[in-house]
C-alpha cells in the first residue's frame, strides 16, 4: 500500500516537471513572437531658409602691423617710448649713436669736394688743349707746321677730353658715397612710420643693435594700428573651396563671451600653411589648413593674439524643404528578393548568417562570396535615409541632402512638404529603427524600448 502511494507520488512529480518544461517553452515561444514598439518623436517636413556655416578658430591680429628694425648698427642712446604707448606718424622712436656715421659723412664730403676740384682742373686743361688744337689746326691747314706737330696737338686735346670725363665720373662716385653716408647718418634716427600703439618693445637704452640693408636687423619694437583689427583663422581644405571674398561672418571672441561681432572675409590664402614643408616626413600627417582673414566691422578694445571663433556664411537657401538634422541617418540599402542569401540588409542579418556557419567551416565572408559570385568590393554601401511615419509604423525612405545649418538640413529628393518624419530619440533613429517597425508617439525615456503585445 505504501509502495503504491510512493509510485503515484513520483508520477505526479514527473508529470509536473514535464508540464513546467513545456509551459516554459511555450512561454518563450510566445514572448519571442511579441513585437517591440519604439517610443519616438516626429516633426513635419516644412519649408525654411538655411544658411550653411563654416566654423573655424584663430587669433585676433591688427590689419596693419609694423616691426621696427634698424638699418644701421650701433648703440641705442635714446629710447623715449614704452610698451603700450600711442604714437603718431613721425614721432621719434629710437636714436642710435651717430659718431661713426658723422665721421664717415665728413670724410665722404671731403672726397666729394676734392673730386669736384679735380673735375674743374680737368675742365680748364680741356679748354686750354682745345684752344691749342684749334690754333695748330689752322697753322697745319696753312702748311705752317709739320704733321707731327699737328698730331701732337690733337693727341693732347683727346687726352684732355678723356681726363675731363674721368674726373666727372670720379665726382659722381664721390657724390654717391656722400649720399650713402648721409643716408646712414639719417638712419640713426628712427621715427614711427604709422599712427598706432607700441604692442611689443624688445630693446632698451644702451643696448647694441645690428642692422644691415641685406637682412633684417635686431627687432626693437612692434607698432600696430589697434583701431583696425581682423581675425585670422585656419580653414580645412574641404571647406575652403566653398568660401569667397566678401562673405559675411560672425565672430565670437573669448574675452567678450556675451557678444558676437560682424565681419567680412577679405583674403583667402592661395597656398596651405604646410605647402612649404612637404619635404618633411611628418608633414604628410598634418591637417592641410588655409589662412583666411576676416575684417572686423566693429571697434572694440581687442588685443593682438586674442582667441576667436568664426562662423562664416558660405551658402544660403530660401524656401527649401528641410528636416531636423538628426532625422537623417545611414542604413544599408534594401536588397532584391532574389539576392537575400548573397547579401545582408542590416546588423541582425549579418549576425544570423555568422551563427548559421559551423565552427569547422571556412570563414563566412568567403562562403557568401562564393555562393553569390560577387567580389569583396561589391558589398553594399550605406545610404542616407529618414524614417517616415505611416500610421503606427515607419517607412525607411532614401533621401538626397543639400546644405545644412546648426539645426536643420535641406532635403533635395525623397520627401514632400507636410510628411511626418521621426526626429527622436537618438538611439531609435541611429540604431534600432528599421523599415516597417512599430512606433508610438511620446517622449523617449525609460520606456522607449519596452515590449508591447500586438492584438
Is 13 part of a structural domain of the chain? no
Closest listed residue to residue 328, CA positions, set 416, 412, 432, 401: 401
CATH number for 297:
2.40.30.170
Q: Is beta strand 438-441 parallel, antiparallel or unpaired with respect to 35-44?
A: parallel
Residue 193 has pLDDT above 90, yes or no: yes
Residue 60 has pLDDT above 90, yes or no: yes
Residues 385, 374 share a domain: no
pLDDT value, residue 343: 40
Backbone angles phi, psi at 262, to 5 degrees: -85, 145
Domain range spanning residue 246? 226-272+286-316
Is 128 part of a structural domain of the chain? yes
What distance in Å separates the CA atoms of residue 343 and residue 337, rounded to the nearest whole number? Answer: 10
CATH number for 134:
1.10.287.470
What integer is the mean pLDDT of 317-326? 94
Residues 330, 383 share a domain: yes
**What percent of the chain clears pLDDT 90, i.e. is strictly above it?**
62
Is 212 part of a structural domain of the chain? yes
Task: Say if residues 48 and 168 touch (Cβ distance below 8 Å).
Answer: no
Residue 341, CB-side half-sphere exposure with 13 Å CA sphere: 7
Residues 386, 354 share a domain: no
Position 354 confidence tier, pLDDT thresholds 50, 70, 90:
very low
**Cell numbers describing residue 182:** 648721409
Is 19 part of a structural domain of the chain? no
The domain boundary residue, chosen from 186, 217, 250 = 186
Residues 303, 417 share a domain: no
Indicate the angle between helix axes 364-372 and 347-355, nearest 10 degrees: 100
Highest mean pLDDT among 116-125, 141-150, 351-360, 367-376: 116-125
pLDDT value, residue 44: 95
pLDDT value, residue 55: 93
Position 335 confidence tier, pLDDT thresholds 50, 70, 90:
low
Is 55 part of a structural domain of the chain? no
Distant-in-sequence, close-in-space partners of 230: CB < 8 Å, separation ≥ 6: 60, 61, 62, 63, 263, 266, 293, 294, 295, 296
Task: Say if residues 37 and 451 touch (Cβ distance below 8 Å).
Answer: yes
Residue 68 has pLDDT above 90, yes or no: yes
Residue 376 has pLDDT above 70, yes or no: no
Is 25 part of a structural domain of the chain? no
Three-class SS of the chain: CHHHHHHHHHHHHHHHHHHHHHHHHHHHHHHHCCEEEEEEEEEECEEEEEEEEEEEEEEEEECCEEEECCCCCEEEEECCCCCCCEECCCCEEEEECCHHHHHHHHHHHHHHHHHHHHHHHHHHHHHHHHHHHHHHHHHHHCCCCCHHHHHHHHHHHHHHHHHHHHHHHHHHHHHHHHHHHHHHHHCCEEECCCCEEEEEECCCCCCEECCCCCCCCCCCEEEECCCCEEEEEEEEHHHHCCCCCCCEEEEEEHHHCCCCEEEEEEEECCCCCCHHHCCCCCHHHCCCEEEEEEEECCCCCCCCCCEEEEEEEEEEEEEEEEEEHHHCEEECCCCCHHHCCCCCCCHHHHHHHHHCCCCCCCCHHHHHHHHHCCCHHHCCCCEEEEEEEECCEEEEEECEEEEECCCEEEEEECCCCCCEEEEECHHHHHHHCCCCCEEEECCCCCCCCCEECCC
What integer is the mean pLDDT of 42-52? 94
What distance in Å separates the CA atoms of residue 283 and residue 286, rounded to the nearest whole number? Answer: 5
**Cell numbers describing residue 58:** 584663430
Residues 428, 335 share a domain: yes
Task: Say if residues 434 and 396 touch (Cβ distance below 8 Å).
Answer: yes
Is 425 part of a structural domain of the chain? yes
Distant-in-sequence, close-in-space partners of 369: CB < 8 Å, separation ≥ 6: 375, 376
pLDDT value, residue 367: 42
Residue 7 has pLDDT above 70, yes or no: no
Is 88 part of a structural domain of the chain? yes
Question: Tell me: the pLDDT tens digits for 245-255?
Answer: 999 999 999 99
What distance in Å separates the CA atoms of residue 307 and residue 253, rounded to the nearest whole number? Answer: 6
What distance in Å separates the CA atoms of residue 235 and residue 294, rounded to the nearest whole number? Answer: 12
Residues 434, 341 share a domain: yes
Question: Tell me: the pLDDT tens digits for 400-421?
Answer: 999 999 899 999 999 999 999 9
Residues 204, 353 share a domain: no
Least confident of 60-69, 185-194, 376-385, 390-399: 376-385
Question: Tell me: the pLDDT tens digits for 120-179?
Answer: 999 999 999 899 889 888 888 888 888 888 898 899 999 999 999 999 999 999 999 999
Least confident of 25-34, 84-93, 170-179, 389-398: 25-34
Residues 180, 82 share a domain: no
Residue 34 has pLDDT above 80, yes or no: no
Residue 347 has pLDDT above 50, yes or no: no
Higher-pLDDT residue of 246, 376: 246
Higher-pLDDT residue of 117, 364: 117
Residues 179, 125 share a domain: yes
Residues 182, 133 share a domain: yes
What integer is the mean pLDDT of 428-441? 91
CATH number for 387:
2.40.420.20
Question: Tell me: the pLDDT tens digits for 279-289?
Answer: 444 445 568 99
pLDDT value, residue 27: 55
Residues 373, 353 share a domain: yes
Domains of the chain: total? 5
Residues 413, 332 share a domain: yes
pLDDT value, residue 141: 86
Least confident of 65-69, 375-379, 421-425, 435-439: 375-379
Q: 248 - beta bridge partners?
A: 264
Higher-pLDDT residue of 14, 396: 396
Amino acid at each position: 500500500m505504501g509502495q503504491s502511494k510512493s509510485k503515484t507520488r513520483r508520477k505526479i512529480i514527473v508529470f509536473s516537471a514535464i508540464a513546467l518544461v513545456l509551459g516554459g517553452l511555450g512561454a518563450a515561444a510566445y514572448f519571442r513572437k511579441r513585437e517591440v514598439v519604439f517610443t519616438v518623436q516626429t516633426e513635419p517636413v516644412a519649408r525654411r531658409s538655411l544658411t550653411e556655416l563654416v566654423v573655424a578658430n584663430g587669433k585676433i591680429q591688427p590689419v596693419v602691423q609694423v616691426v621696427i628694425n634698424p638699418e644701421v648698427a650701433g648703440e641705442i642712446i635714446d629710447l623715449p617710448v614704452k610698451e603700450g604707448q600711442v604714437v603718431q606718424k613721425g614721432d621719434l622712436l629710437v636714436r642710435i649713436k651717430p659718431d661713426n656715421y658723422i665721421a664717415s659723412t665728413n670724410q665722404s664730403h671731403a672726397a666729394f669736394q676734392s673730386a669736384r676740384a679735380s673735375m674743374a682742373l680737368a675742365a680748364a686743361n680741356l679748354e686750354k688743349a682745345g684752344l691749342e688744337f684749334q690754333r695748330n689746326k689752322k697753322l697745319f691747314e696753312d702748311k705752317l707746321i709739320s704733321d707731327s706737330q699737328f698730331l701732337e696737338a690733337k693727341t693732347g686735346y683727346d687726352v684732355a677730353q678723356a681726363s675731363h670725363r674721368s674726373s666727372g665720373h670720379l665726382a659722381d662716385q664721390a657724390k654717391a658715397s656722400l649720399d650713402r653716408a648721409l643716408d646712414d647718418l639719417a638712419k640713426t634716427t628712427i621715427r614711427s612710420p604709422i599712427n598706432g600703439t607700441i604692442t611689443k618693445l624688445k630693446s632698451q637704452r644702451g643696448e647694441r643693435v645690428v642692422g644691415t640693408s641685406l637682412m633684417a636687423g635686431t627687432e626693437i619694437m612692434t607698432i600696430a594700428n589697434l583701431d583696425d583689427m581682423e581675425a585670422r583663422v585656419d580653414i580645412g581644405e574641404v571647406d575652403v573651396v566653398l568660401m569667397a571674398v566678401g562673405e559675411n561672418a560672425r565672430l565670437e571672441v573669448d574675452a567678450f563671451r556675451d557678444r558676437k561681432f560682424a565681419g567680412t572675409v577679405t583674403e583667402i590664402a592661395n597656398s596651405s600653411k604646410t605647402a612649404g614643408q612637404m619635404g618633411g616626413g611628418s608633414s604628410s600627417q598634418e591637417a592641410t589648413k588655409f589662412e583666411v582673414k576676416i575684417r572686423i566691422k566693429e571697434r572694440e578694445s581687442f588685443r593682438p593674439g586674442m582667441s576667436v571663433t568664426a562662423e562664416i556664411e558660405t551658402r544660403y537657401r530660401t524656401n527649401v524643404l528641410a528636416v531636423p538634422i538628426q532625422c537623417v541617418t545611414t542604413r544599408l540599402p534594401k536588397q532584391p528578393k532574389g539576392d537575400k542569401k548573397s547579401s545582408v540588409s542590416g546588423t541582425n542579418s549579418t549576425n544570423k548568417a555568422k551563427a548559421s556557419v559551423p565552427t569547422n567551416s571556412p570563414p563566412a565572408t568567403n562562403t557568401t562570396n562564393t555562393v553569390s559570385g560577387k567580389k569583396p568590393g561589391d558589398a553594399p554601401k550605406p545610404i542616407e535615409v529618414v524614417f517616415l511615419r505611416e500610421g503606427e509604423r515607419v517607412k525607411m525612405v532614401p533621401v538626397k541632402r543639400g546644405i545644412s545649418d546648426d539645426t536643420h538640413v535641406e532635403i533635395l529628393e525623397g520627401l514632400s512638404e507636410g510628411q511626418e518624419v521621426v526626429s527622436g530619440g537618438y538611439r531609435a533613429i541611429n540604431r534600432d529603427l528599421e523599415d516597417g517597425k512599430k512606433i508610438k508617439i511620446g517622449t523617449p525615456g525609460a520606456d522607449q524600448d519596452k515590449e508591447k503585445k500586438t492584438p
